[in-house]
Structure 1
């Protein structure tokens, strides 16, 4: 919603201010289709040259994040903590019983209580791979933490491709706007014998190219890149929470303490309150009883 409001505000303030100052929209509207064809077309071409098909598809999908925001909501963090609580408690009570949930999370009665977490392949793999390794006596907290850190860093590197691609496009658009403007000046120079009023309109049309390149770069592509980066970083907190809880478990803290460590390491705007989490955990215990 904020993304749509931002776009409307950009157009209203830029073109509204121009019109109120006495600017003539006719010159812009006449030149806009041709300038947009050159700048947007060249921008798309450079985008395709500079990225492979996987990054192109990923970037197109990630543009939706500008309007949707982060995938994980506060209730999802609470559900994740409840899921980890159930898994850790069961693993300590019966190491054999946990195997069916870790080996087949898609069919697990515990995972199925939290369908959004269950549907996320990365979250499930982080949980199951770590708990499986614990059952194989790979339980050194520092080594496991290092492995999880590397996996999350690799995930971050992969998901930042869209941000880098959009930022590169934003950096190049002003220069492409200058290219379009220079071509407009060349066209104007070829008609130097025309009267001043004709030349003025032609020069104005050429300058639309410079305007459009800067406008698209700093009004859209740059903010899109920043928003995608912010959303990726927010979503990564979900996986970092898994790391915090599972590493605390390897330090042999009480199950409630492990969950509290995770809760306190959750970003403030996603963190469930202590009371809310306690109520959710009580419900989990009652269901299991």
Structure 2
């Protein structure tokens, strides 16, 4: 929602200021300039990105517009889920976790926390971290290194859309100049048509420069930055999971492992220690 509000503010401020100065929005509507600017920008995007990155860009942009970023409640739910999972492992043995980890969609624990169950990356990372704990294929001291490597790989993958959008944003002012030059060439060919026609064509050419700068600094670069913040929040979720799972694998009590994970969180999303402890103790036991 905030991204839509921000976009509306950018658009309204530009058009509103132009109108207050006596301009008419109709003067900015030159289809040829929009075709040049948006067409070349789309071409740059296609040239610069492999197919899977293009799909990832669409997914990330959609996530910025329609999805809410992980907030305090999502982290609260994540910590409660981790605690419940650890308590099952502590009470009934690690083998009891198998039914929850192998088929989380059927798990009574995971079903209580849709913010994790319905988020593919968080769910996959948690399941992949718990599987070695259950089957004992690696030593507890090695688990954190394994999960850290997975986080590094995901971080690099998630940064690809950011880099591509920044490239497009940095290219847009130059693309605007291309549109303006094309407009000036068109103007030179119409000098014989009189000052009025020349004035209209010069205005259209200048609109090309305006649009390039406007789209770059008003929308594309801010959007890339928002994706970067969203990536940071998602990585914080993964690091929270890593801290808790690694601590539990080393033999820490469930409450202690979850407390370590809580302390690793940013203050803006970190639940209070007493608040979390009360919520955890109030959870119903899982049989």
Same fold (TM over 0.5): yes
Inter-partner Cα distance in structure 2 for 1:272 and 1:261: 12
1:66 has 2:64 as partner: yes
Cα distance, 1:50–1:133 mapped onto 2, change above 3 Å: same
- Per the alignment, residue 287 of structure 1 pairs with 285
- Per the alignment, residue 259 of structure 2 pairs with 260
Cα distance, 1:6–1:113 mapped onto 2, change above 3 Å: closer
**TM (normalized to structure 2)?**
0.90
On the 8 A contact 1:28/1:205 being kept in 2, the answer is yes
In the TM superposition, what is the alpha-carbon distance from 1:26 to its structure 2 partner? 4.4
Structure 2 residues without counterparts, runs of 5 or longer: none
Tell me the C-alpha RMSD between the 2 structures. 2.1
- Per the alignment, residue 246 of structure 2 pairs with 247
Cα distance, 1:120–1:64 mapped onto 2, change above 3 Å: closer
- Per the alignment, residue 175 of structure 1 pairs with 174
In the TM superposition, what is the alpha-carbon distance from 1:212 to its structure 2 partner? 0.8
- Per the alignment, residue 76 of structure 2 pairs with 78
- Per the alignment, residue 100 of structure 1 pairs with 99
1:6 has 2:35 as partner: no
Cα distance, 1:22–1:129 mapped onto 2, change above 3 Å: closer
72-81 vs 123-132, which deviates more?
123-132
Matches within 5 A, 1:109-128: 109-128=108-127
Cα distance, 1:60–1:127 mapped onto 2, change above 3 Å: closer
- Per the alignment, residue 21 of structure 1 pairs with 21
In the TM superposition, what is the alpha-carbon distance from 1:245 to its structure 2 partner? 0.6
Please identify runs of 4+ aligned residues in structure 1 that moved more than 6 A. none
- Per the alignment, residue 41 of structure 1 pairs with 39
Inter-partner Cα distance in structure 2 for 1:161 and 1:83: 30
On the 8 A contact 1:181/1:208 being kept in 2, the answer is yes
Inter-partner Cα distance in structure 1 for 2:111 and 2:22: 62
Cα distance, 1:124–1:188 mapped onto 2, change above 3 Å: closer
Matches within 5 A, 1:92-241: 92-93=90-91, 94-138=93-137, 140-241=139-240
219-228 vs 79-88, which deviates more?
79-88
In the TM superposition, what is the alpha-carbon distance from 1:273 to its structure 2 partner? 1.8
Structure 1 residues without counterparts, runs of 5 or longer: none
Inter-partner Cα distance in structure 1 for 2:109 and 2:162: 36
On the 8 A contact 1:101/1:107 being kept in 2, the answer is yes
In the TM superposition, what is the alpha-carbon distance from 1:41 to its structure 2 partner? 1.2
